[in-house]
Amino acid sequence: MTNYTAKELAKALGIGPRTRKFTIQDEYGISIDAGRTESVLATLSRTDKSDVPQRIHTVAYALLKSISTARMNPVTSLRLTLDTSAYQICAIVAKIANECPEQEIGGICDVWLPKHHTEL
């Protein structure tokens, strides 16, 4: 089993520990208006990012889905979207990828995240 780190995920996105702003761009280079957390998760979940492993794509999409569809605890969701840096989001995705035994998006969203949301 591969052990993912925040450093390697952040490097794939071109961000560092002190990055304050992170924006996502479409295929034409136009910035898309989204929050920092949503932008990082959307970028990590893109399948055209070949330097990011498939497991990271799955976990990032599951976390984004959990936040955007209100499946996650509301307090944890607010903390992740308002108080978390782009680098910290990479660390959270790496932690989930390393610790969560679930392989499917639904299992991560509906089983693992509700039980472990306080650890994020």
Q: What is the pLDDT of residue 2?
A: 81
Cα 79 to the center of its chain, rounded Å: 14
The overall average pLDDT reported for the chain is: 89
Domain segments of the chain: what residues? 6-119
Minimum mean pLDDT among 49-58, 71-80, 84-93, 94-103: which range?
A: 49-58
Minimum mean pLDDT among 16-20, 69-73, 76-80: which range?
A: 16-20
Give yes or no for a contact between 114 and 71, defined as CB atoms under 8 angstroms apart.
yes
Q: What is the pTM of this model?
A: 0.90
Going by pLDDT thresholds of 50, 70 and 90, the confidence category of residue 105 is very high
Give yes or no for a contact between 55 and 2, defined as CB atoms under 8 angstroms apart.
yes
